[in-house]
Amino acid sequence: MKPPRFEYDDPTTTEEALDLLAQHGEDAKVLAGGQSLVPLLNFRMARPDRLVDINGIEELSYIRHDNGTLRLGAMTRQAAVESSDTARQLCPLLVDALHWVGHAQIRNRGTVGGSVAHADPAAELPVVFSALGASFHVRSKTGPRTLSPEDFFQTHRTTSLEPSELLTEIEVPVLPAATRTAFVEFARRQGDFALGGAATVVSVDESGACRDVRIALLGAAPTPIRASDAEDAIRGRRLDEDAAREARVLTEAAITPTGDIHGSGDYRRGLIATMVYRSLLQAASNRGEAA
């Protein structure tokens, strides 16, 4: 299938893109890497009158270490983050998760901001940014906004972005030393969307007890959600086999994923709980993040 007819703009600055979105936002779609939007156009599941192609906006593509945060421009290609020494050093969890996103060809074009704005419940980056407590910077002609993942992701492929708004940057706090992280998922084949997964961030004190614990779940709900019962059970304890087992049981009791042709809700519930168990044990064996 071919996409329906559309008008096409290719701004080269953020301001120019914001002008276009202010004028045409209701009828337009932003085109980033096109890895999700172009198939939707071809299947005619999206029928915008206009595309605002932001690939020519160089100022939206960067990876910066700035005052205790890692800043990613929305147009930064997923492959650029995956191969970035800065990202690997400051945020290995992000790089680990990126290996699971589609195939290399998709990551060469797909952008970090596109993955966040697309808000697929089976996507890795929204889950990782939730676990990391990232902030999403958004701009329009009426001004900037900064949103937490909880405020940004509304439901399946729906965010709180207004039609006139552009996601411009993802800001990730650099984790303190001795923070352990792990990302695990299960997909039927390498490159497929995951059936379930978990991103875990755990800080451990001198006595070996867990302090800050964040476990974000992939595929458990229409948006990334946290396994809060499991987090509460682990806080203050050593991260060992018993703790991981209890977290698995609590997660399984807490979630109600929806089933589809790839797996029933019950299957996914057990799978995601197992991903939590594995991610905790993997985090326990990790050296910890560089500060």
| CA-based nearest residue to 200, from 286, 283, 288 | 283
Q: Closest CB to ligand FAD among 106 and 178?
A: 106
Shortest approach of ligand FAD to residue 216 CB, angstroms? 14
Pick the closer one to ligand FAD by CB: 111 or 223. 111
Nearer to ligand FAD, 161 or 233 (CB): 161
The least CB distance from residue 130 to ligand FAD, in Å, is 13
Q: How far is the CB of 273 from ligand FAD (least distance, A)?
A: 21
Taking the complex as a whole, how short is the minimal distance between the CB of residue 172 and ligand FAD, in angstroms?
16
Closest approach, Cβ 81 to ligand FAD, in A, equals: 12
- Nearest distance in Å: CB 240, ligand FAD: 31
Q: Which residues bind ligand FAD (CB under 6 A)?
A: 29-37, 39, 74, 101-102, 106, 110-111, 113-115, 117-118, 123-125, 161, 166-167, 193
* Residue among 199, 84, 69 nearest 137 (CA): 69
Residue closer to ligand FAD by CB (options 74, 243) is: 74
Residues whose CB falls within 8 Å of the CB of residue 57, separated by 6 or more in sequence, listed in order = 11, 12, 13, 14, 17, 75
What gap in Å lies between CA 140 and CA 144, rounded to an integer? 6
Would you say 162 or 212 has its CB closer to ligand FAD?
Answer: 162
Of 135 and 179, the one with the shorter C-beta distance to ligand FAD is 135
CA angle 171, 175, 177 (to 5 degrees): 155
158, burial (CB in 10 Å: exposed 0-12, middle 13-18, buried 19+):
exposed
d(CA 112, CA 157) in angstroms, rounded, equals 15
Which of 57, 276 has the CB closer to ligand FAD?
Answer: 57
- Min dist. Cβ of residue 40 to ligand FAD (A): 8
